[in-house]
Structure 1
Amino acid sequence: MTQSAGHLTLDELRTRTQDGSIDTVILGFTDMLGRLLGKRIDAGYFVDEVSHHGAECCNYLITVDVELNTIDGYRVSGGIRDTAT
């Protein structure tokens, strides 16, 4: 497999984490509207845990608008809007 410029293998990330040249990994993904979301993860934790077991995020984060209101029609949000208030 050919490696793209700017991408690291897990072994390269491990080496750079151990020598202190990388201390944080940014885990990014897009929501259902194409907006970039994510979180910063300690590089050592990413190498030791996340790379093997994955990371989690709340489904709610990918089903809200800019003002954090749940967008109607997305079953994965898991919430029911209270329209009485």
Structure 2
Amino acid sequence: MARTGDIDVVILGAGINGAGLFRDLCAQGVSCLIVDKGDFGSGTSAAPSRLIHGGLKYLETGEFGLVAQSTLERNLLLKNAPHYVS
């Protein structure tokens, strides 16, 4: 494998967190390498509950900051992967 340049960040693990971090850093222009012992998303990330809630459950306990954060994250998901949101 030929070396083509310096890498700023090496991410170990290509599950949902590693892949998300990789995407966000690359979008900011950071040179990244992501490494996983298996296929991307094949570990714990391959068996989720398949449920992404919008944060409305936090209204019951008055955690308005979490409602706002969850709503923001849901909107990002709608923008980046609308096929996963119903």
Q: TM-score, normalised by structure 1?
A: 0.24
More helix by share: 2
Q: TM-score, normalised by structure 2?
A: 0.24
